[in-house]
Amino acid sequence: MEELVADADRMGRIRDFAWKAGPDLPAHVATYPSMLSSIERRMLRWLAAEHYTGRGAICDLGAFLGGSTIALAEGVRAGGHTGKVIHSYDWHRISERSWEQWEPAISRPYPESGKFLSVTRELMGDLADLVEFHSGDFSQMPPPQSEIEILFVDIAKVFATSDHIVRNFLPKLIPGQSVVIQQDYFHVWPPFDVYVMEVLHDHFEPLAFAKTSALFINVRAVDSAAVESALSRNMSIETLRGALEAAAGRWPQEQGAHVERILRSLDGLDRAPQTKRILRRTTKGGLTLAERAEKAKWRAKRRRRKALRGLRSRD
């Protein structure tokens, strides 16, 4: 009973956006090179310090130079946990051009090979002791052996990574305890975060948000049937549209409006190259009637445009 009250209290604090009232980020985290906003890093730090119990692992999927990882590590340390409890995944590879953009914050020369994991370790200092780094193609990497308590997703940019998370990471969550943070949820693209969480809406309850990140509590074990339902091979334009429409209604107006922007980008089919890719991919294994109709409509539109251009050029 006491445990249940404690759990309810912890969830209540997430629902209350408790990190906003929490301490500011320490300077070495606040100034660390990161693509995340400061409020997102505060939220990660807070979750690792206040929500994390040590029962499972913390996963940072898509760490880049480690801005999300160091925020989590700082929280883990504040919570008094030790050992390599954070699993941080990335290619750890960068082009010289991108490095130049980040160089003022990194203050290190470009690594000749383009591989920067050693720089990340150096920048993190002793907080790196709390991290197991996984370098290379995430979609080929196994999840940690333990359960997962905090799952931060900043890597679901394409089908392969989204499917890998659904297959191998979601089944490791602890119902009633694990928190999933979907960083791209309120971005206009990609739509995978919204799609997966919506298809699995009876497994995840929305809790809060921070900038473009959406936070969910896992309420039901993700079994093989649930995994199958959320894989991209079962996504069509119709199911994606339905998921986006339903998801828009689950959040306060401002956040719902961001989800609606993704919907609108679907309507501009010929303007979004990623949407074309979705169409191609969802139709790979055989077309459903609805997909065929959508694709035919799209092709007809292009043909009409081309014909019109031809007519104009003759005038």
Ligand X SMILES: C[S@@+](CC[C@H](N)C(=O)[O-])C[C@H]1O[C@@H](n2cnc3c(N)ncnc32)[C@H](O)[C@@H]1O
Residue (116 or 195) nearer to ligand X, CB = 116
Residue (49 or 70) nearer to ligand X, CB = 70
Among 47, 155, 230, 243, interactor with ligand X by CB under 6 A: 155
Is omega for the bond preceding 190 within 30 degrees of 0, making it cis? yes
Q: Are strands 148-153 and 179-182 parallel, antiparallel or unpaired?
A: parallel
Find the shortest distance in angstroms from Cβ 67 to ligand X: 3
Q: Does 139 bind ligand X (CB under 6 A)?
A: yes
CA atoms of 310 and 306, how far apart (whole Å):
6
Tally of CB atoms within 10 A around 174: 15
Cβ atoms of 238 and 292 closer than 8 Å? no
Q: Which two tokens stand for residue 202?
A: 């009876």
Residue (85 or 237) nearer to ligand X, CB = 85
**In 3D, which of 54, 59, 46, 60 has the Cα closest to residue 13?**
46
The stretch near ligand X (CB under 6 A) out of 80-88, 134-142, 201-209, 221-229 is 134-142
User: Strand pairing partners for 60?
Assistant: 88, 152
User: Strand pairing partners for 218?
Assistant: 204
Q: 27-56: which residues touch ligand X (CB under 6 A)?
A: 34-36
Among 22, 77, 91, 103, interactor with ligand X by CB under 6 A: 91
Find the shortest distance in angstroms from Cβ 28 to ligand X: 14
Cβ atoms of 162 and 200 closer than 8 Å? no
Print the binding letters for residues 54-73 with ligand X: x by CB under 6 A, - otherwise: --------xxx--xx-----
Sheet architecture: strand order including 57-61: 131-135, 86-90, 57-61, 148-153, 179-182, 213-218, 204-210
Find the shortest distance in angstroms from Cβ 75 to ligand X: 14
Find the shortest distance in angstroms from Cβ 32 to ligand X: 8
**In 3D, which of 74, 73, 43, 36 has the Cα closest to residue 58?**
73
Contacts of residue 125, Cβ cutoff 8 Å, sequence gap at least 6:
28
Print the binding letters for residues 70-89 with ligand X: x by CB under 6 A, - otherwise: -------------------x
Find the shortest distance in angstroms from Cβ 310 to ligand X: 41
Among 16, 137, 228, 270, interactor with ligand X by CB under 6 A: 137
Find the shortest distance in angstroms from Cβ 8 to ligand X: 30
Q: Does 296 bind ligand X (CB under 6 A)?
A: no
Instruction: Give how many residues touch ligand X by CB under 6 A.
Output: 18
CA atoms of 169 and 148, how far apart (whole Å):
8
Torsion of CA 24, 26, 28, 32, to 10 degrees: -20
Residue (64 or 99) nearer to ligand X, CB = 64
Find the shortest distance in angstroms from Cβ 260 to ligand X: 23
Print the binding letters for residues 160-199 with ligand X: x by CB under 6 A, - otherwise: -x--------------------------------------
Among 52, 116, 138, 185, interactor with ligand X by CB under 6 A: 138
Find the shortest distance in angstroms from Cβ 63 to ligand X: 5
Residue 139 backbone dihedrals phi, psi, to 5 degrees: -70, -5
Among 154, 163, 198, 294, interactor with ligand X by CB under 6 A: 154
**In 3D, which of 24, 113, 17, 135 has the Cα closest to residue 69?**
135
Q: Which two tokens stand for residue 118?
A: 């050693």
Amino acid letter for position 39:
I
Binding site for ligand X (CB under 6 A): 34-36, 62-64, 67-68, 89-91, 137-139, 154-155, 157, 161
